[in-house]
Amino acid sequence: MLGMSQFSGDPGSWVEADIRRLVEDRPFGVLSTQAESQPYASLIAFAFTPDLRVFFFATPKATRKFRLLSQCSRVALLVDDRCLHPGQFMEVQGVTITGRARQLSPKGREWRSARTLFLDRHSQLRDFVDSPSTALFHVDVVRGFHVSRFQQVFEWTPARSK
């Protein structure tokens, strides 16, 4: 693709640092799901593990998003800082995180850990997360695509435990 810089694997710690800054500074993102050959995008609040390998979000069970997630686990999460740079498009940075989502078993150990991380970041959503009509999802990150200066794209893969 013209004007694109792309590297496989980890192109450098600065890319991960930029991704970390983006997800730490922005509490919301756009989750893309798909089913029946159709994409769907939703605004979500999210949280993540310190190693950036797992992201979490909550959604009501009675939504299109929940239904689509039950049909196809592949997701993409877009987080960007466009609101910080009105009129300065070349300064905007974003990351698309791709991965697989799965619903966590309510009240299980993993659910409790995810709930803690999520509520540390979004304490105002406590009643929502604790509602029996809400599902908490875990996204295993496969890779990220960091975009800056409109066309500079770097692929990033989170470090895996050895």
pLDDT at 63: 94
pTM: 0.84
Q: Encode pLDDT of 44-72 as tens digits.
A: 999 999 999 999 999 999 999 999 999 99
Q: Encode pLDDT of 76-102 as tens digits.
A: 999 877 555 567 656 667 888 999 999
State both tokens at 93: 């940075």
Q: Rounded to an integer, what distance in angstroms lies between the CA atom of residue 148 and that of residue 91?
A: 7
Mean pLDDT estimate for the chain:
84
Label residue 4 by pLDDT band (50, 70, 90).
very low
pLDDT at 14: 72
pLDDT at 107: 82
Phi, psi of 12 (to 5 degrees): 150, 160
Q: Rounded to an integer, what distance in angstroms lies between the CA atom of residue 150 and that of residue 90?
A: 6
| Domain residue limits, the chain | 13-156
Find all residues with CB under 8 Å of 37, minimum gap 6, and list them: none
Burial of 3 (0-12, 13-18, 19+ CB in 10 A): exposed
Q: What is the DSSP string of 49-100?
A: -TTSSEEEEEEESSSHHHHHHHH--EEEEEEE-GGG-TT-GGG-EEEEEEEE
Q: Encode pLDDT of 13-44 as tens digits.
A: 677 888 888 889 889 999 999 988 889 999 99
CB 146 within 8 A of CB 156: yes
Residue 104 has pLDDT above 60, yes or no: yes
| CATH of the domain spanning 13-156 | 2.30.110.10
CB 45 within 8 A of CB 36: no
